[in-house]
Amino acid sequence: MELVSSLFQGKLNILVNNAGTSILKSSLELTAEDYKNLMAINLESAFHLSQLSHPLLKASGAGRIVFISSVGGFLAFPLSTLYGPTKGAINQLTRNLALEWATDNIRVNSVAPGPIITPLLKAYFEAAGDNPISSVSFGIPMGRAGQPVEVATVTAFLCMAAASYITGQIIVADGGIMMGRSL
Which residues are known catalytic residues?
83
Helix axes 32-39, 83-101, angle to 10 degrees: 30
Q: Which residues contact 77 (CB under 8 A, 6 or more apart)?
A: 83, 84, 183
Count CB-CB contacts under 10 A for residue 104.
14
The neighbouring-strand residues paired with 25 are: 80
Please count the CA atoms within 13 angstroms of the CA of 48 that sit on its side-chain side: 9
Tell me, rounded to whole angstroms, the distance of Cα 118 from its chain centroid: 14
